[in-house]
Structure formats: C-alpha cells, structure tokens
C-alpha cells in the first residue's frame, strides 16, 4: 500500500513539475516586451486564473490515474505470466 501511494504521489508531483516546467519554458503568463503590467485585475482575470489552476490540477490527476493504470496492468501481466508458468510446470509434472 505504501508503494502504491508513493507511485500516485510521484505521478502527481511529476505532473505538476512537468506543467510548471512547460509554463516556465514557454513563458506563458509573462508580459511581452512592450506590454505594460495590469495594475487592476478584473473579475475575468481571476476566473481565468482559477480555470488555469483547475486545468493543471485535473491534468495532474489524469496523469496519476494513467500511471496507476499502467502499473496495475504491468502487475497483472506479471501475475498472469507466473500463473501460466506454474500451470505449465504442474502440467509437465502431471504428465510424467
């Protein structure tokens, strides 16, 4: 359970770090050279900020769910391989 929780936490942190890196790399939200800073943000600016934060949060959750599904799939595949190998060895022993 601790490993699963750490995987989900790592996926969420990784998603947030990746999104922050993209925002910093592409310069989103930074004013252009000739643009003056807005001193009086309007209500729509706050709505835009909240929508951006919700998008980032939902993207991090989506990434965590995707990574979790991949981990569960890999564990299931490994388990099925072990079951198949055990069944094959049991069948060989029974055939002797």
> What are the pLDDT digits (tens) for 44-78?
778 888 899 999 999 999 999 999 999 999 899 88
Q: What is the pTM of this model?
A: 0.46
- Residue 40 counted as domain residue: no
**What total of structural domains would you count in the chain?**
1
Q: What domain range includes position 8?
A: 2-30+45-95
**Is residue 25's pLDDT more than 90?**
no
Report d(CA 38, CA 26) in Å as an integer: 20
- Residue 16 counted as domain residue: yes
- Residue 38 counted as domain residue: no
- Residue 9 counted as domain residue: yes
- Residue 6 counted as domain residue: yes
Taken in order 89, 90, 91, 93, the sign of the CA dihedral is: positive
- Residue 91 counted as domain residue: yes
């Amino acid at each position: 359970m601790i490993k699963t929780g750490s995987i989900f936490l790592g996926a969420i942190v990784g998603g947030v770090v990746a999104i922050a890196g993209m925002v910093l790399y592409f310069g989103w939200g930074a004013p252009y050279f000739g643009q003056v800073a807005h001193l009086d943000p309007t209500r729509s600016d706050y709505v835009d900020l909240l929508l951006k934060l919700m998008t980032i949060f939902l993207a991090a959750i989506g990434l965590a769910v995707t990574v979790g599904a991949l981990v569960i799939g890999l564990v299931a595949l490994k388990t099925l391989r072990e079951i198949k190998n055990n069944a094959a060895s049991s069948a060989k022993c029974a055939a002797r």
